[in-house]
Amino acid sequence: MTQPRTEATRTKVGLTALAIALVALVALTFLPTPYVIQKPGPVYNTLGTALDADGEEIPLIQIDDAETFPTEGALDLTTVQVVGSRERPVSWFELALAWVDSSKAVVPIESVFPEGVTREQREQRNSMLMVDSQHEATAAALRQLGEEVPATISVVEVLEDGASAGLLEADDQITEIDGVAVSDMDALRAKIQEAEGKAVALTVVRDDEEQTVTVTPQKREANGTTTWLIGVTLMLEYEFPIDVTLQLNNVGGPSAGLMFALGIIDVLTPGELNGGETVAGTGTINGLGDVGPIGGIRQKLYGARDAGATYFFAPEANCAEVVGHVPDGLQVVKTATLDDALDALEVIAEGGDVADLPTCTAAAK
């Protein structure tokens, strides 16, 4: 016959169970997770200075062979900082803190650090995107100011198993498709999609000689969408009439394009484009002045507000992520083109009715 447990025995068992549970909870809290945290990153004034490779402070925008003008205030480009990686994953404790912080986002690690892509490869790609962004911004700004900026589509890489393998080569310059002249990527892509898998004739310049190659695009289906690809990486090469250098180390990706373009225009024109205000923003841009979507918009909103911005240019395509997440003290201006941003800056600079500036609304989503 067993004896009933005494009160002391029950207390001891309860404390032991509680201790085990606490140890398990603490251990779980600090275990690695398959997520990373996105938070507001540094903000850079395109009208200000930056550090060069030697650590010396120089103008972020440097322009030679053209008259430049003094500027005031700020045209801030915003960034996102990623906490965590495959080598150094964040803990559940860090994740819990980020989940309750409206300025941060928790995203799957795969979306930032894809399997099979090394950190070096990722950084190299982001650096290339930044360089492309600077070229596109310069082209958009100079064209806005009435300058002629010729462009050529160049082949950077030919995929080994792609449709152009053995047909196109790196450094080829594509000038026509099916007899129609092309000088921007969107026009080339549109013609390829219109062919719907039928062979297209590409006129290219190789080693200063013009020739025609016939490529049959390959079909790719993803998320219910069919895309036709010729299996190459392309880049627009511009001939700039003015030497523009954008100095920004340790920042990658294409999202600074819009603010670069605005900064260049401000430096090249008399007066203060921003009226001396602190204006921030984000968005890709192409040489035609079209503004495209970016990642981390909510983190950039908070980064801009914390840096003192009053106005923020947000790509129209990001409006769904903006609505309901604008920090107090910041006015968002919906932007689809460089002209949109310039029109808004004119209102801001002249002290106009900023309440009428286009913004992201639930209907705009």
Residue 111 annotated in active site: no
Of 104, 154, 164, 300, the active-site residue reads 300
Instruction: Give the SS3 label for residue 56.
Output: coil
d(CA 107, CA 299): 13
C-beta neighbour count of 95 within 10 angstroms: 19
The single-letter code of the amino acid at 106 is V
d(CA 360, CA 318): 9
3-state helix, strand, coil in the chain (%, to 5): 35, 30, 40
Of 133, 154, 164, 255, the active-site residue reads 255
Residue 12 annotated in active site: no
Question: Catalytic amino acids?
Answer: 255, 300
